[in-house]
Amino acid sequence: MPEPPEFTLIVSEPWSYEEPVITTRYAMESWPYYYIPDQLYPVPIGMMMLSSGRDWWRMGGVGHATRRAIDMLLMELWGAREPPTFAQLVSEAWPYYEPPSMVKLVDEPWSS
Amino acid sequence: MSGGFGDWDHYNGTAELDATTYVSSPSSLKRTATSTPQTLMTLTKAAAAQALINGRVVSQIRTSSTGHMPAFYFRYQDQNNYYVVALYYPGPQWYLYKVKAGVRSAIGLRLCVSWTPVINTFYKVRCTFWTSEGHLWARLEYWDGSSWIKQGDDISDVANEWPAGGRVGVGGLDGSAPTFTHHDDTEIWG
């Protein structure tokens, strides 16, 4: 029975989300609203979008279950036990996740 | 060397990254059938793997249904011309199929060795294909945690179709809506 030749690795695919660009848009009351776009999309107040490559989760409302889901996703992306606060996102995320030039950190509603 | 979801072509059914079921965090590839029966293909776009004559595909595989066979595609020309190795859980056994001019024929099958896969469980498997003595050869192996277990004798096709090579990838075969397969930590060697 013949044996196969030696091979070299061509593709290694972990099927992981692409490295996210994290931007924050709103801080309402004590609860931050996040979205992590790979393109610039208008995000209405109360909506959040998490991007992982070409997949998007669109979350409306900020009920407890939604908050928990956001927490879990952010913790996974963040690699931390606790979800980042708005301040942490602003102070810590920016140096590591250079936002696209057309994305600006704002704390006011989308106006366009 | 690693790419992403967009670095693959996903044919038939639906394709998504699943953040709830995986081997390595945070996600895996999920392919879901949307009709019956369906051939679900996810083929790499990597330039170096567009015309593989010999090669190997390694992947964690998982299925939700015994009738939806995790599959490895190679020598792919188009939707009507390719080889596919598929794992059929009820045997358990695996097949080497050839689809030529849209007609599928079984070249051979082998019973699994020291391995009884069950649904909804990930297994690390590799499929190797190569040309030797003018034949196309295919081999399926299962990783038992310490070594690769060859799943019976290799299967060969004397016709050695598409000897100039073709595309490669993973997916599912004969899936019926809404069954699905998962794939994680996929590697292409050539």
| Contact between B41 and B158 (Cβ < 8 Å) | no
* Cα-to-chain-centroid distance, residue B116: 18
Interchain contact, B130 vs A4, CB within 8 Å: yes
Strand ranges, E, within chain A: 9-13, 23-28, 31-36, 47-52, 55-60
Least confident of A66-75, B139-148, B174-183: A66-75
Here the tokens at position B106 are: 């079984």
Interchain contact, A16 vs B24, CB within 8 Å: yes
- Predicted pLDDT of residue A88: 52
Of A104 and B153, the structure prediction assigns the larger pLDDT to B153
User: Which residue's structure tokens are 């490295």?
Assistant: A19
Could you give the ipTM of this predicted complex?
A: 0.94
- Predicted pLDDT of residue B85: 98
Give how far B27 is from chain A: nearest CA, Å: 5
Q: Which residue of A9, A15, A54 is in closest CB contact with B29? A: A15
Interchain contact, B4 vs A18, CB within 8 Å: yes
Interchain contact, A9 vs B7, CB within 8 Å: no
Element (H, E) at A94: helix A94-96
Give the separation between CA B63 and CA B182, rounded to whole angstroms.
Answer: 6
Element (H, E) at A76: helix A64-78
- State in Å, rounded, how far the first CA of chain B is from the last one: 13
Residue-wise pLDDT tens digits, B95-113: 999 999 999 999 999 999 9
| Contacts for B116 with CB less than 8 Å, ≥ 6 apart | B92
Give the separation between CA B28 and CA B32, rounded to whole angstroms.
Answer: 13
- Predicted pLDDT of residue A78: 55
| Contact between A76 and A59 (Cβ < 8 Å) | no
- DSSP state at residue B24: S
DSSP letters spanning B109-176:
EEE-SS----TT--EEEEEEEEEETTEEEEEEEEE-SSSEEE-SS-EEETT---TT-BEEEEEEEEE-
Here the tokens at position B116 are: 């009884």
How many Cβ pairs within 8 Å bridge chains A and B?
104
What is the value of pTM for the model shown? 0.71
Of A1 and B13, the structure prediction assigns the larger pLDDT to B13
Give the separation between CA B5 and CA B10, rounded to whole angstroms.
Answer: 9
Torsion-angle region of residue A91: left (phi > 0), alpha (psi -120 to 50) or beta? alpha
What chain B holds in terms of domains, given with CATH numbers, is 5-189 (2.60.120.560)
